[in-house]
Amino acid sequence: MYEFESGEKALQGCQEKIPDVILLDYRLPDIDGLEFLNQLQRQTQGSQTSVIMLTGQGDETIAVQAIKNGAQDYLVKGKLTPDNLRRAVHGAIEQMQLMRQLKQQQEQQKLVGTIALDIRQSLNLQDILATSVQKVRQLLSADRVLIYQFTPQMQGSVVAESVLPQWTPILGLEIEDTCFQENQGGEYCRGKIWAATNVYEAGLSDCHINLLERFQVKANLVAPILLENKESPAIELWGLFIVHQCSAPRQWQTFEVELLNQLTVQLAIAIQQAELYHNLQTLNTELEAKVQERTAKLHQSEEKLRQSEALLATTQQIAHVGTEDVEQIEQAVLNALAQQTNFQGEYRVIYPNGSVHWLTGKGHGVYWVME
């Protein structure tokens, strides 16, 4: 509890720490209560705090102005009792807590909606993961937020991280957690969200404590990212969405747990969408490779057919060549086709009258490259 003698000193105190409840005397030595409320609103930029106005006179006009300027209640000093003061303080705190919860829910839904929109507009999973950890860390005012992806052997690495400068970054770090390997993810596989206010009082195993100490963790909030397998009823534990508080233990709020629960559902959709896109790209690549392979084989078949047709034509031309020279000429033609050169050879031709004549045959080859 803090007490200040003037409005200016009280405003200075609120700059260092915003209190849950302010009991404000309407008649201050330097400024009146209404002016204090106006300056407080500008100074805190709408931050949630409860103000109860105290005055020595029951002026309804002042009461209305005080409520309009942000006060939660208005009490007259002459009618003040411990009971009605206690009720007023408790009521102001409850009202402020409700307003804070409402604001948190609005921010939560806005964040979930933003990430859902990112998923619909982008197929880049890494960008979606990086945006998610950044926005969650800012919303929860946490020291570190990360996403950890498992391998089938229950090892893995940090694939996305947002961390304050004073704490050790661990993005890309490969972590072998023997605790996970032993129980295959434990209750995370069944969708349990883990919240530890103080890791040293959470009943964790020594190996888990040692792991968290490496990263300076005092409190953590962990939600599993689960993927449905269309080919079987089994659920795959893809990874973990983790919030770290490194500076001190932290009492996690219900809305924070619910936020991670909603986000992991959206991230599961993004992961499956990205995997589907990747599989489609792989299938297209394989299909293109098969088409190219079949095209190359077709070109080879066409070339063999062309060679066969050329050989047949040559054979027909040398039908009257002496029997002992046929094999030699055929081999010379084949060699010329294989080496893509011109053909030249001498052979004997038998005329109908039985006479034998020597001839020199030349062939000019026309070759082309199949693309």
- For the stretch 23-46, pLDDT in tens is 777 777 787 777 877 777 777 765
What pLDDT, on a 0 to 100 scale, did the predictor assign at position 370?
55
Q: What is the pLDDT of residues 245-291, one digit of tens each?
A: 999 999 998 888 988 988 898 888 888 888 787 778 888 888 888 88
Compute CA 322 distance to the chain's CA centroid, rounded to the nearest angstrom.
80
> How far is Cα 244 from Cα 215, in angstroms, rounded to an integer?
9
Q: What is the pLDDT of residues 185-221, one digit of tens each?
A: 678 888 889 999 999 999 888 888 988 999 999 999 9
Q: Is residue 96 within 8 Å of 49, Cβ to Cβ? A: yes
- Which secondary-structure segment (H or E) carries 75? strand 73-76
Backbone φ and ψ for 102, nearest 5 degrees, come out as -60, -45
- Of 318 and 257, the structure prediction assigns the larger pLDDT to 257
Q: Is residue 218 within 8 Å of 246, Cβ to Cβ? A: yes
- Of 144 and 121, the structure prediction assigns the larger pLDDT to 144
Mean pLDDT of 338-350: 78
- Of 37 and 130, the structure prediction assigns the larger pLDDT to 130
Which of 188, 196, 192, 276 shows the shortest CA–CA distance to 239?
188
Residue type, 249: P
What pLDDT, on a 0 to 100 scale, did the predictor assign at position 319?
47
DSSP designation for 193: P
Contacting residues for 101 by C-beta, under 8 A, at least 6 apart: 255
159 pLDDT exceeds 90?
A: yes
What pLDDT, on a 0 to 100 scale, did the predictor assign at position 184?
47
- Of 210 and 52, the structure prediction assigns the larger pLDDT to 210
> How far is Cα 7 from Cα 180, in angstroms, rounded to an integer?
56
- Of 352 and 155, the structure prediction assigns the larger pLDDT to 155
What pLDDT, on a 0 to 100 scale, did the predictor assign at position 147?
95
- Between helix 323-339 and helix 254-317 the angle, nearest 10°, is 150
Q: Is residue 342 within 8 Å of 362, Cβ to Cβ? A: yes
Q: Is residue 31 within 8 Å of 62, Cβ to Cβ? A: no
